[in-house]
Structure 1
Amino acid sequence: MLKSVELRNFKSFHNKVKIDFEKTNYKTLLNTNVSGNLLKGALFVGKNASGKSNVLKAIRFLLECLLAKNEVNWVEYICLFSDTPVMELKYVFEIDKSEIIYDISYQWVDVFLREKLTVDGIELLSREGSTANTILTEVKNYTDIPKQLLFLRDIFFNTRFRGQVKLQKWFEFLFNSVYMDMCLKSATQYKGVDLSLRSYMEESGTKLINDFFEQYHFEQRIEYNKKATGNIVTLESPENQIYFRRNGINEPIPYEMESLGNQTLVQLLPAFFYCISNSGMLLLDEFSSGFHNSLEELLVRYFMKNAGESQFIFVSHSTNLLSNSLLRPDQIYSVDFDKGGSVVKRFSSEKPREAQNIEKMYLGGVFNGIPRYER
């Protein structure tokens, strides 16, 4: 699981920022929202254009660079208003009670890349520009590494970390992770699993989604067939189509005619169920797109209750999610932007009591990250 992320000169984060996923001393929600000493996710709130999505992009950056891309367009990620030409990222994971630390530093003026990988304090890889030392391969010293290629990625795809069980489990956790932009309704999964709704229907059918709807008393069910028959209309297609059935109305409703919120929900659920069942991270941007407050709260509770060693890291503007009955104060960060760049504040840093209304405290400005629109 992800233990912490540190950023400096990454997109809107100019100054060094650390985002921590270790639990603090709060006793609330220990049985659902915590796995060992780590939190099963975090919520980022704040005004528009404060940098909330860039937190998710920093985590996605690791997934893209290690699992998806041969070379990185570093210019996409640098802080454009920084006078220091070095971007720094530090990722700390806990896998089977071992601590894995991966440091990346990129100097864009001279195109100079550094990498360092340690497991439980033992250095496994050290890279400086085009040279590297590692104990992960038969060759220990390298002198001709491409300038913008992460060497750890190259080692993995050439060796699959033979004999390195902890690193294999770490990469399995990364491969199981999903990034989803709720505005674009597109999911990126790094193991090659197609989590689009139609592919999910072909592979898994409707049972898990409909069981979820039935368990929580939704007013609809879904079907996936070539033919859907009602009292008045019968709809047919050469290929299977998705239809909704509302309680008390015996007519099929084509997916395209259903509400935006219900469309968004069923597009999310394949990724949602996948990350709960397979240890990894669900990175969800604009979680509040088209959902009623109660539905958002249900999804957060469901994930925290049912996930084992998975994490739900998400961005939302819905302040109703700021509740001690839903998320712990150490699971919530506000993101603000000043002339120096994006900054984060962990709600637990203000030591709110478990009985306090943290939504009201946030709206009152205690945790920052509040827009001030004045006439």
Structure 2
Amino acid sequence: MQSSGLINEGGQAKLKYEFKFGNDEIIYKYSRFANTELCDEELYINGEVVFKCDFKNSKFDFQGLSIISAETVNTKRYLNKDEMDNEYVLPFLRWLINNTTFSDNSVLIQLFEYVRKMSMITVGNDLLYSNRNFFEDLKNPIYLQSFEDFLNLMGIECKLVLQELPDGQVELYFSHKKLVPFYRTVSSGTLALTSLYQKIVSNPSLIYIDDFAAFYHYEMAEKLISFFKTKYPKCQLIMTSHNTNLMTNKIIRPDCLFILSSKGTLTALCDATERELREGHNLEKMYISGELEKYE
């Protein structure tokens, strides 16, 4: 999947997503105001228009629904005036998928399944708060062992124990001669790892992690990247970071490293220099020396 977006002078956010499933290429575009009001929406399959919705001017083109064998769908029901007068307009693509029967191999079903498994992970103000559902999961010895293995893989050598307190609640401890309360003694980095672990989902199609290395030593950040690459070999991973130590061929290819400029443009490192980048090049040194400055 590829995506792009911009904010125009009218205050609209315009977004474009490109997907490829087998031989089918899908382009989905929409724009909306900051208040989430939907302005327009378009869907293309293999270059052909499936539908166009201009909500601002109440203009709709559903002539291409036959491309996805949905020409009999009752679009008048979607355009019902009572629904369209709502402050929030339901995207037609979502309505179409929820109100039409498609075959399992339909490209729209593949799109729906992909989008459904997209995950955004943030690590922020929840660092100091334990998740009670997380403790319920840890009651399963397999899940507790999995979490312990994760911490050990990140360089935090430990043995974990979960105990039930007299009031019926459970508490997580480090196992030593005397049990050490987990949440009251760990560093902010370990708390960030714990928060991240709680949000890891099963079988994702895409994971976006914003500023994922903010709380980690650079070696741990490298281990996290390796962990995600190993755990999700078929998943598209997007990670943002200010950590220039991660600009290395050792863990990420130059064509997979991007500079996000102050103007909102993305440039791959391989396109940000006239050099033919090789494995021996020090990418971080090139960046810090200002060789890539015009793309910042």
- For the aligned pair, the TM-score class normalised by the smaller chain equals 0.7 to 0.9
Find the aligned partners of 2:152 and 2:27 in 1 and give their Cα distance.
43
Contact 1:197–1:266 (Cα < 8 Å) also in 2: no
**Which residue number in structure 2 is paired with residue 205 of structure 1?**
143
Q: Quick one: distance in 2 between partners of 1:361 and 1:302?
A: 27
SS in structure 2 of the partner of residue 355 of structure 1? coil
Q: How does 1:127-138 map to 2 (within 5 A)?
A: 127-129=53-55, 130=58, 131-133=60-62, 134-135=65-66, 136=70, 138=72
Deviation at 1:141, TM superposition (A): 4.6
Q: Does 1:310 align with 2:247?
A: no
Q: Cα–Cα, structure 1 residues 165 and 359, in superposed 2: closer, same or farther, change >3 Å? A: same
- Shift in Å, 1:158: 2.4
1:214 is displaced (CA, Å) by: 4.5
Question: TM-score when scaled to structure 1?
Answer: 0.63
Partner of 1:265: 193
Q: 1:7 aligns with which of 5, 8, 17?
A: 5
Residue in 2 that maps onto 1:179: 120
Amino acid of the residue matched to residue 168 of structure 2?
Answer: P
Cα distance in 2, alignment partners of residues 99 and 156 from structure 1:
18
Residue identity opposite 1:327 in structure 2: I
Provide TM-score, normalisation by structure 2. 0.78
State the shift of 1:226 in Å: 0.8
Cα gap change, 1:219 to 1:237, in 2 (>3 Å): farther
Q: Percent identity?
A: 23
1:103 to 29, 54, 69: 29
Corresponding residue of 1:92:
18
* Runs of 5+ unmatched residues, structure 2: none
Q: Residues 217 and 319 (structure 1 numbering): CA distance in 2 closer, same or farther, change over 3 Å?
A: closer
1:258-309 Cα deviation digits (max 9, x unpaired): 222112112212333x2xx403222111212321211110110121133132
Instruction: Provide the rounded CA distance (Å) in 2 between the counterparts of 1:195 and 1:157.
Output: 33
Letter in 2 for 1:267: S
Q: Determine which structure has more spread, i.e. the larger CA radius of gyration.
A: 2
- Offset, 1:361: 1.0
2:266 paired residue number = 344
- Check the 8 A contact 1:205/1:224 in 2, yes or no: no
Q: Per-residue CA shift, 1:119-173, capped at 9, x if unaligned?
A: 3334333223243413436336544472733111222232364555332222222
* Map of 2:250 onto structure 1: 325
**Secondary structure of 1:220 counterpart:** coil
1:35-55 CA distance string (max 9 Å, x none): xxxxxxxxxxxxxxxxxxxxx
The structure carrying a bigger strand percent of its residues is 1
Partner of 1:255: 182
Query: Which letter does structure 2 place at the counterpart of 1:95?
Result: F
1:156 paired residue number: 97
1:298 matched to 2:223? The reply is yes
Aligned partner of 1:334 in structure 2 is: 259
| Distance in 1 of aligned mates of 2:9 and 2:233 | 43
* SS of residue in 2 equivalent to 1:115: strand
C-alpha separation between the residues in 2 aligned to 1:369 and 1:212?
Answer: 39
Q: Per-residue CA shift, 1:63-121, capped at 9, x if unaligned?
A: xxxxxxxxxxxxxxxxxxx534543211012234532210113478xx77222212333
State how far apart, in whole Å, the 2-side matches of 1:281 and 1:242 are.
31
Aligned residues: 272
Higher relative contact order (CA 8 A, sep 6+): 1
Shift of 1:323: 0.6
